[in-house]
Amino acid sequence: MRAHSPEPEELSPSTGSPATGPVGLVRLLSGRYLWALLAVASLAVVDEAIIQPQLVRLNLYAPAINVAGRQRMLSQKIAKNALALATRSGDGARADRREQLLKAVYEWNTAHRGLLSGSVALGLEPIADERTAAALLALEPRLEAIRTAAHTIADTSPDDTDHDAAIQAALDTILSEEPQYLEGMERVVGMLEVSAGRQVDFLRWCGMAAMLAALGLLVAVYFVVLRPALNLIRQQITKLADSESRHREMAELLTEARDELESRVAERTSELVAANRALEGEIAERQAAESRMRELSGELAHASRITALGQLATGLAHEINQPLASITNYADVLELSAENGTFDAETTASTIARLKRAALRAGQIVRSMRNFVRAGGGQRSVVELNALVREVCDLCRPQLEQAQVQWSVDLAVGEIIVEADPLEIQQVVVNLVQNAAQAVAACDREDRHVDIRTCVEGHNATVEVADTGPGFGTAGAEESFAPFFSTKPEGLGMGLSISRTILERHDGRLWGRNRAGGGAVVGFQLPLATEHEQHVSTSNDCICR
């Protein structure tokens, strides 16, 4: 039995069993359970079809045994009534006895026939056992003899001649046959009881066998169905418990991880908040530093302009002297005419007009100088670049002429509109022209050339100052743009550096290079004002790089 109760592990796919996992095993167990159910059902059918009918038939032995037992009592009753009739009692008693006798004989005979062939009224089946039937049949002659004798006694009238002899003969027959009948019937009852006992024994064994079979089936069901099913359930419960504990562990790990993450996030957030505060502080400091730097840069540019003006001052003084001398001369002419009385209205008007022009010219020079050195800057406005260059040329002209420099101005045709701080851009152009004038100062007089030009290229305006001086040397111009780099004895070395800063603030650029035929070209580029219509020719040869 045990060999047929495979454990769930034995049925796992790894063992090569047809069962595949719990589902296959459940299918197998269901099959087994059905087979067990079929076997129990077969036992029930066997019980109903074989054992129960036998039990019913066994019940039939009881009436047969009863009837057989009663036959003995009836035979005695027959003998007793026959004996009473034979003793010649009164007519009333005789009739009563006769009736009782005949009734007893009738019942007795009917019961005997019933025992032999079966009787519905008596609830008797024909006796199946041959030996019992033969024993019953063997009593037939005695029954006949007693019955005939009883009828003889009942039917013989006391008035008959041979009454006594007939009665006596009949009574003798009854008295001799009745004990033997009793004995025979005793035997039949015994045989019936033995048959019933055998049947009972047989049925008891059958019942025991069926019960054992049912018990065996129950045990088999336990081993082949219940136990594997229980093992399976146990395994599943263990797995569930395992997975539940794993889930719990996972949940704990997740909770720990989440807590750690949250604490890290909180930590990081507070770090970021602190960093943000520090950054805000740094930004404020930087903004303050930048605005301070702007202020310093403005102050530096102003100082640089004053320095430049100092260099222009000699030439400008000479320039102012000219109109002032003219004014003095014209005043002398007017005074002399007044003294001589040679006042001529036409000459006087023309002299006064010249005197006014000279005064205007002197005022213009002073205004230009004042504008150039005024503090401030950083104010953007729409600027026409050609006009600005012209104004610078006016400022620088005395210095260039004094230095006997041959100079030219080549401006783009039309107007170049840029958005810029005019003061700062003016300062850049002055610086470039002054550097060029100083660079050519060492050359022979006839080789001192400075060319100033403007042009437009694409969306940019360019201003270039080229000279025939010594140029930047083989190292190139870049080092000259560094702050405090100067090759001049009184130079500050800040002009180009400030100019580059100014240009960068205007989204432009400043560059310098050696000129092809000797000398240097220093120029800058500014974006054109996109919101203003440009009326400028781009045809002049722009050599901007």
Chain positions contacting ligand ADP, by CB under 6 A: 431, 435-436, 439, 467, 469-472, 480, 485-488, 491-497, 520, 522
Ranked by CB distance to ligand ADP, the top (closest) residue is 495
Residue closer to ligand ADP (CB basis): 64 or 477: 477
Instruction: Name the minimum Å distance from CB 296 to ligand ADP.
Output: 17
- Please give the Cα distance from 454 to 384 (Å, whole number): 11
Instruction: Name the minimum Å distance from CB 499 to ligand ADP.
Output: 8
Distances (CA, A) of 359 to 323, 331, 354, 355: 6, 12, 9, 6
Kindly tell me the burial class for residue 254, based on how many C-beta atoms sit within 10 Å of its own C-beta (0-12, 13-18, 19 or more).
Answer: exposed
Residue closer to ligand ADP (CB basis): 510 or 542: 510
Q: Are 514 and 447 in contact (CB under 8 A)?
A: no
- Please give the Cα distance from 362 to 367 (Å, whole number): 9
Residue closer to ligand ADP (CB basis): 114 or 471: 471
Nearest CA among 147, 148, 156, 154 for reference residue 75: 147
Contacts of residue 285, defined as CB under 8 A and 6 or more positions apart, other chains included, come to none
Residue closer to ligand ADP (CB basis): 508 or 519: 519
Residue with tokens 């199946």, as numbered in its chain = 128
Under DSSP, the state recorded for 341 is: T
Sign of the four-CA dihedral 456, 479, 375, 435 = negative
The bridge status of strand 414-415 relative to strand 460-467 is unpaired
Contacts of residue 72, defined as CB under 8 A and 6 or more positions apart, other chains included, come to 182, 185, 186, 189
Instruction: Name the minimum Å distance from CB 407 to ligand ADP.
Output: 13
Residue closer to ligand ADP (CB basis): 297 or 435: 435
Instruction: Name the minimum Å distance from CB 415 to ligand ADP.
Output: 27
Determine which helix (DSSP H) or strand (DSSP E) holds 452, and give its type and residue range: strand 449-457
Residue with tokens 């007793």, as numbered in its chain = 80
CA 544 to chain centre: 62
Residue closer to ligand ADP (CB basis): 82 or 522: 522
Instruction: Name the minimum Å distance from CB 524 to ligand ADP.
Output: 13
Residue closer to ligand ADP (CB basis): 132 or 431: 431
Instruction: Name the minimum Å distance from CB 420 to ligand ADP.
Output: 20
Provide the 10 A C-beta neighbour count for residue 141: 12
- Please give the Cα distance from 15 to 28 (Å, whole number): 15
Residue closer to ligand ADP (CB basis): 435 or 454: 435
Instruction: Name the minimum Å distance from CB 450 to ligand ADP.
Output: 9
Contacts of residue 246, defined as CB under 8 A and 6 or more positions apart, other chains included, come to none
Instruction: Name the minimum Å distance from CB 501 to ligand ADP.
Output: 11
Residue closer to ligand ADP (CB basis): 217 or 520: 520
Instruction: Name the minimum Å distance from CB 267 to ligand ADP.
Output: 53
